[in-house]
Amino acid sequence: MAYQIPPLPYPFDALEPYINTLTMDCHYNGHHKAYVQNLNKALANYPDLQQKRPEDLLVSLHTLPESIRTAVRNNGGGHVNHSFFWKIMAPKAGGKPQGKLYEDILSHFGSFESFQEKFEAAGLARFGSGWVWLVVNKEGKLEILSTPNQDNPLSDGHQPFLGCDVWEHAYYLKYQFRRGEWLKAFWNVVNWTAVEEFYSQALNKNLSFCP
């Protein structure tokens, strides 16, 4: 069965004023939809690979036929990253996480504010298009990473559970060149309940982003 774009869990205008309606529409119906279509095209002649979870394709990129590896990395990454991205945002969200995640952030970064500053700095430092992530790294510790394009930390053995899209299509229609404003606005829509669930999955190395 061909991969499909998952339903957006809220209306296009639900994240206003932090993400405007036009940005959400273009991002979801334009960019994410295209990643899914192109992933299906890349795998059209590989029925065995079509049965795999998109996350598993990214974990095992090095085993894929070389002729489709780049297409799966780009478009499979785009599908996984965005399926995850929609889930970790919500209207009337923001604030701080609770429980173990909050305690671990304090233990690793010193304060929640220090974590936010480092996360924003990593997003600003990403040259060109990409993502900034909070992951459980290969050593089982929290780490902030940035990846280019639609690369996902899963491909390098890390377990991402919070991420922000810093491609221009994610923010330019509202914030233009002001990526720093977008990164600060992002905290107002983070669905920490979902992030905490993904953190639990990350600790168990059992992440599931796509339906």
Q: What is the residue extent of each domain of the chain? A: 21-87, 99-203
Its CATH class, for the domain covering 21-87, is mainly alpha
pLDDT at 177 over 90: yes
Mean pLDDT, residues 70-74: 98
- Residues making up the annotated binding site for Mn(2+) are 27, 82, 165, 169
pLDDT at 1 over 80: no
Mean pLDDT, residues 181-191: 98
Euclidean distance between CA atoms 56 and 139, whole angstroms: 20
For residue 2, give the nearest of 35, 48, 51, 61 by alpha carbon. 51
pLDDT tens digits for range 11-45: 999 999 999 999 999 999 999 999 999 999 999 99
- Residues making up the annotated binding site are 27, 82, 165, 169
CATH architecture designation of domain 99-203: 3-Layer(bab) Sandwich (3.55)
β-sheet with 142-148: strand ranges across: 142-148, 130-136, 159-165
CB 115 within 8 A of CB 127: no
What is the reported pLDDT for 211?
A: 80
Q: What is the mean pLDDT of the chain?
A: 97
Euclidean distance between CA atoms 84 and 50, whole angstroms: 20
What is the reported pLDDT for 81?
A: 98
Say whether 147 sits in a helix, a strand or coil.
strand
What is the reported pLDDT for 127?
A: 97
Mean pLDDT, residues 85-91: 98
pLDDT band at 180 (very low <50, low <70, confident <90, very high): very high
